[in-house]
């Protein structure tokens, strides 16, 4: 049985003070939920991961000690272990700063920083070598969906970005389907569209790694997921939670999304 995951991608938003306030409000809501719940209720919450900007990682990590059930990850990492890469942050640095997860292949990095499939595979490999759970993002642009190439696009992204992994590595990976036309646009994939693509992805995993791996891998949906639509999206058989952008900056909304993934 796959445990759902809800991840918040803060992108390049929030001052440190705002980030701490948001984290504090989130802790309060989670604690309150645990306190007033029936025994065992805590176990029903999904895994929660926050992706703050690099510079806040250690502070946010300290805010959420292990018992709080919230992990912290980075929005990116460099593909090399260390060296003369001014301004970059490596996977070992992330691990040493308390990050346990990393996003690889977000469409904003593909589009704005020219990150291609080959580079993303190198980043994912580096992240896994350093013990970071890797959330690999894939998804088509609007013209690709309109011309019905969306399955081909996603398959190609996964072939080069994920399907080189050994099965053991895959067990430390999460796939996030994030149709580019739905990111930050307020246009969400319908639950049926999300389910169709998630099932397609799971079948690709099955073809490459077999039934058990396909049954175990978590496939998150991302793209204008919010407190109103999360319940219906997460109710789809192959949607294992969400990677949330805008709504993760609002503690009330993000908490509602976490609850929508509770079972």
Residues that bind ligand PEP (CB under 6 A): 9, 178, 183-184, 222-225, 243-247
Min dist. Cβ of residue 246 to ligand PEP (A): 3
- Work out the number of other CB atoms within 10 angstroms of the CB of residue 134: 27
Min dist. Cβ of residue 5 to ligand PEP (A): 13
Give whichever of 217 and 222 is closer to ligand PEP, judged by the CB atom. 222
Taking each helix axis as running N to C, give the angle between helix 150-161 and helix 191-209, from 0 to 180 degrees, rounded to the nearest 10: 40
Give whichever of 7 and 214 is closer to ligand PEP, judged by the CB atom. 7
Give whichever of 4 and 178 is closer to ligand PEP, judged by the CB atom. 178
Q: Give the rounded distance of the alpha carbon of 54 from its chain centre.
A: 16
Tokens of 7: 């991840």
- Using CB positions, name the residue nearest to ligand PEP: 245
Give whichever of 103 and 217 is closer to ligand PEP, judged by the CB atom. 103
DSSP secondary structure string for all residues of 199-263: HHHHHHHHHHH-HHHHHH-EEEE-SS--TTTHHHHHTSTT--EEEESGGGGSHHHHHHHHHHT--
Min dist. Cβ of residue 243 to ligand PEP (A): 5
Min dist. Cβ of residue 248 to ligand PEP (A): 7
DSSP secondary structure string for all residues of 54-70: GGGHHHHHHHS-GGG-E
Min dist. Cβ of residue 144 to ligand PEP (A): 17
Give whichever of 118 and 185 is closer to ligand PEP, judged by the CB atom. 185
């Amino acid at each position: 049985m796959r445990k759902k995951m809800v991840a918040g991608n803060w992108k390049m938003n929030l001052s440190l003070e705002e980030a701490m306030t948001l984290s504090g409000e989130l802790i309060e809501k989670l604690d309150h939920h645990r306190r007033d719940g029936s025994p065992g209720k805590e176990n029903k919450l999904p895994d929660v991961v926050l992706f703050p900007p690099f510079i806040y990682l250690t502070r946010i990590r300290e805010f959420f000690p292990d018992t709080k059930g919230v992990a912290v990850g980075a929005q990116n990492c460099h593909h090399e272990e260390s060296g003369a890469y001014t301004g970059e942050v490596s996977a070992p640095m992330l691990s040493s700063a308390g990050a346990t997860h990393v996003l690889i292949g977000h469409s904003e990095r593909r589009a704005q920083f020219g990150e291609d499939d080959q580079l993303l595979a190198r980043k994912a490999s580096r992240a896994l070598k350093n013990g970071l759970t890797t959330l690999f993002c894939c998804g088509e642009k609007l013209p690709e969906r309109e011309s019905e190439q969306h399955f081909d696009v996603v398959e190609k992204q996964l072939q080069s970005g994920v399907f080189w992994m050994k099965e053991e590595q895959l067990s430390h990976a999460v796939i996030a389907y994030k149709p580019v036309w739905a990111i930050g646009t307020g246009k969400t994939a319908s639950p049926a569209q999300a389910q169709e693509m998630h099932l397609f992805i799971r079948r690709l995993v099955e073809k490459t790694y077999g039934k058990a791996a396909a049954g175990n891998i978590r496939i998150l949906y991302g793209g204008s997921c919010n407190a109103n639509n999360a319940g219906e999206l997460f109710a789809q058989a192959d949607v294992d939670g969400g990677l949330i952008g805008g709504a993760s900056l609002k503690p009330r909304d993000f908490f509602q999304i976490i609850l929508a993934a509770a079972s």
